[in-house]
Amino acid sequence: MTTLFYIARKSGALRNGNERGSFRYHAVPISDDAPLCGQRPAISWRTEEGAAVTCPACLKALQGIEGASFVSGTPESVAF
Ligand SMILES: [Zn+2]
């Protein structure tokens, strides 16, 4: 069984002016808006080209999921 995920960060600008390296990227199942770590965004998710999962809790959870794979694009742009 394949489970599809988005790699996404929470939307909104960082107040301290740091660059994108400061964002934490989560693994979000396409069928849900809750990431594997359970930390839902206050506003929405944003996906970015070339992003990789950096959230330690999401990475740990991914290790226990067989057939995990990733899609790019926003949830709205993926049709099933
Ligand atoms: Zn996470």
Q: What's the pLDDT score for residue 72?
A: 67
% of the chain beyond a pLDDT of 70: 74
How remote is the CA of residue 52 from the centroid of ligand 1, in Å?
A: 11
Q: What is the tens place of the pLDDT at every residue in 21-58?
A: 568 999 999 888 899 999 998 888 888 878 889 999 99
**Per-residue model confidence (pLDDT) at position 19:** 52
User: Dihedrals φ, ψ of 76, to 5°?
Assistant: -70, -25
Give me the chain's average pLDDT, please. 80
* CA pair distance 45, 1, nearest whole angstrom: 25
Q: Ligand 1 centroid to 77 CA: how many Å?
A: 22
Given a cut of 90, whether residue 14 has pLDDT beyond it is no
Exposure string of 42-77, with b = 16+ CB inside 10 Å and e = fewer, is eeebbbeeebebebeebbebbeeeeebebeeeebee
Q: Ligand 1 centre and the CA of 25: distance in Å? A: 7
